[in-house]
């Protein structure tokens, strides 16, 4: 299925917003004891990586400070090494990396002339 860059960015933002909403007021212990949430976060990170893969290189170059290879690499590791998921890394990505990524993607969306993604 073909997705436009606009759609890909929105898919990524939707997954980031889901994770950020879920972690609000939560600590790592609560997260790691919740199997449904752990699965959901892993799936969201997979979607973020997959949507990142679909973005054209010229769009990625517009926001070159995003570590695109790490996003897609994370997706590949989660897909292919699902028995070895390190939830401390998932939590770290959710709490420390995604807020910054969201801001950069919002800037990218604005730079491509698209309307803002609602939070």
- 43 catalytic per annotation: no
- 80 catalytic per annotation: yes
Exactly one of 11, 43, 75, 117 is catalytic; name it.
75
pLDDT digits 0-9 by tens, 1-20: 677 888 899 999 999 999 99
Longest dimension (CA), the chain: 42
Exactly one of 11, 39, 80, 102 is catalytic; name it.
80
| 8 Å CB contact between 15 and 47 | yes
pLDDT digits 0-9 by tens, 77-97: 776 666 678 899 999 999 999
What percent of the chain is modeled with pLDDT above 90?
67
DSSP state of 24: T
Place of tokens 């990396």: 97
- pTM for this prediction: 0.86
Nearest of 30, 37, 66 to residue 51 by alpha carbon: 66
């Amino acid at each position: 299925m073909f997705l436009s860059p606009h759609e890909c960015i929105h898919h990524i933002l939707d997954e980031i917003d889901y994770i950020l909403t879920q972690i609000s007021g939560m600590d790592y212990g609560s997260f790691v004891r919740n199997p449904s949430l752990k699965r959901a976060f892993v799936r969201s990170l997979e979607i973020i990586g997959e949507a990142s893969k679909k973005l054209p290189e010229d769009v990625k170059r517009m926001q070159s400070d995003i570590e695109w290879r790490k996003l897609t690499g994370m997706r590949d590791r989660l897909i292919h090494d699902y028995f070895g998921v390190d939830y401390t890394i998932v939590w770290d990505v959710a709490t420390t990396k995604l807020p910054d990524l969201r801001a950069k993607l919002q800037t990218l969306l604005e730079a491509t002339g698209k309307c803002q993604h609602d939070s």
